[in-house]
Amino acid sequence: MSKTVIIGGVAAGSSCAARLRRLKEDEEIVLVERGEYISFANCGLPYYIGGAIAERENLLLMTAERMNKRHRIDVRLRSEVTAINREEKTVTIHDRAAFKMYDERYDHLLIATGSAPVMPPLPGIGSDRVESLWTVPDADRIKKRCLEESVHRAVIVGGGFIGLELAENLREAGLDVLIVEMSDQVLPSLDREMALLLEAELRKNGVGLKLGRGVTAFEERGGALAVSLNDGTAVETDLAVVAVGIRPNGQLAKEAGLAVNERGGIVVDAHLRTSDPAIYAAGDVIEVEEPILGGRTMIPLAGPANKQGRVAAGNIAGGNEVFRGSRGTAVAKVFGLTAASVGLTEKALAQKGLAKGKDYETVTIVQNSHAGYYPGAVPLTLKLLFAADGEKIFGAQIVGADGADKRIDTIAASMYYGGTVADLAGLELAYAPPYSSAKDPVNMAGFCAGNLLDGMVKFAAWDSVETEPDSVILDVREKAEVEAFGLGRAVHIPMGQLRERLNELDPRKRTIVFCAIGVRGYNAARLLAQKGFADVAVYPGGFRFYRGTHPDSGDVGENGGIPPCFRLK
């Protein structure tokens, strides 16, 4: 009888085990998991801490008992594979419950050892007030601390997905929260201007932000924890959670002589085979194809991990299935906003040597989530990145209160099938007033990109008001709109009066046109271009986007983004 040993459960390992049983009823399948749970909702842990997920049992997607009963999988919990013996085709297993070591034979092996949170070797990081959030026991400890009367404050080190979701849920649990992030923005899967929208939302909900600062040490002081920063300051808290990133658990593969990359990720082919044809790997521990520009990448997300487990099972069963790489499609809830992204950011394109205007272009639009005349419509901001010839979509980012998830999925599907900018414009998407508009935001992004490529419009940068002080700012909104919010140096000429008042503008100067969301700005730019104005650009997303990316300095506060309760006495 053929035997498959799977190292690790959760997304990749458990999905492989279940599908392999469906494909091969007579296969002997052994799943070795060093923890207590073979499949749990890792992404649900912050929401359990905050109370949105009330029952702890709801986090446990599949128990060892159910896996054995339903699929006849030999699940061995609290057991760790300590060595892969490739010549003998065995693995050495440490049964921690029984305090014994033994070898297990395999015909095929799947390594699904996942990843682990990075805990930098900082002074004091071993304090029991310093936590990470990666497993159910981690969530149990943090949730228990939130219920203690002495815990009122939490510092989150890291502003990525886990950090932002945890910030929201710790606020829901009643704690004051401060995020300390080494970068100058939160959520690195977004470009800076899009991240600014989230930062405003975090501050609005009472989360303090200390950006561009790293942690240098933790120190117990008088019943509290002092967190020292690399600017020489320190903040005081009751609890710290480190969420600065993850690393692949590839040491086992490396010690077995399998090919790994410089980060320790396991190198696999399109069939998820390692450098040993009897051994497959899947999940956070592997590097995969980067299908947008080519090359290799590591995308530690649950969706790709589940799919990789299925592909590995199919190939172990004798199939010829292929995993086509990952574009990193992701979404996160940040209080009242949703942040979604797919593909490469502008920062990533620049790092790969691509130049804006030569190799790629971007458009940013602000559109309502559904028809504006139907109640409940809210704005969403969409940034699209695409090749300079429009034949390839490089990525997209969306931030909004409603509808961001389905739009990012639409763009991700288009990218998967090689869609172009023109394809986005031509997509036939469902429309009814409660759900969308006749011109869906995805279509609108395609229209705007097409206009840019056709030379019908140019767009200013999101920070052009600051970086282009000699430009003329033309505001074509109505008087009431300007009275509500305007720019001091702007020339105000309502769109309906522009034709008659062109003499008030200098056609030789660069003109940046503002309106509410960009529609009137485009119309004005077309008029000016046809009247001899040589250099006209539309501010993307209009004043709605400008206000989101230029929050009041009062939002940050005189203490540099640190709520008073975190100050050292």
Q: What would the pLDDT profile of 505-526 be if each residue is shown by its tens digit? A: 999 999 999 999 999 999 999 9
Task: Say how far apart CA 7 and CA 60 lie, in whole Å.
Answer: 19
Phi, psi torsion values for 281, nearest 5 degrees: -145, 150
Among residues 299, 273, 426, 437, the alpha carbon closest in space to that of 366 is found at 437
Q: With H, G, I as helix, E, B as strand and everything else as coil, classify residue 64.
A: helix
Q: Examine the pLDDT at 323 and tell me if it is beyond 90.
A: yes
pLDDT at 552: 65
Task: Say how far apart CA 336 and CA 266 lie, in whole Å.
Answer: 38
CA 365 to chain centre: 20
Joined together, the tokens standing for residue 71 give: 């699929």
pLDDT bracket for residue 555 (50, 70, 90): very low
Q: At CA 79, angle to CA 78 and CA 84, rounded to 5?
A: 155
pLDDT at 368: 96
Mean pLDDT estimate for the chain: 95
pLDDT at 483: 93
Q: Which of 43, 146, 515, 565 is catalytic?
A: 43
Q: Which residues contact 82 (CB under 8 A, 6 or more apart)?
A: 92, 93, 94, 101, 252
pLDDT at 60: 86
pLDDT bracket for residue 1 (50, 70, 90): confident
Q: Examine the pLDDT at 557 and tell me if it is beyond 50.
A: no
Higher pLDDT: 39 or 540? It is: 540
| Element containing residue 355 per DSSP (H, E) | none
Amino acid 197 reads: L
Among residues 467, 470, 484, 468, the alpha carbon closest in space to that of 543 is found at 484
Q: Examine the pLDDT at 192 and tell me if it is beyond 70.
A: yes
Q: Examine the pLDDT at 553 and tell me if it is beyond 60.
A: no
Q: Examine the pLDDT at 407 and tell me if it is beyond 80.
A: yes
pLDDT at 559: 52
43 catalytically annotated: yes
Q: With H, G, I as helix, E, B as strand and everything else as coil, classify residue 43.
A: helix
Joined together, the tokens standing for residue 254 give: 């490396």
Range with the poorest average pLDDT among 38-42, 49-53, 82-86: 38-42
Look up the pTM and report it.
0.94
What tens digit of pLDDT does each residue of 132-175 get? Answer: 999 999 999 999 999 888 899 999 999 999 999 999 999 999 99
The fraction of the chain above a pLDDT of 90, given in percent, is: 91
Mean pLDDT, rounded, for 461-490: 95
Mean pLDDT, rounded, for 435-457: 97
Do the Cβ atoms of 210 and 542 come closer than 8 Å?
A: no
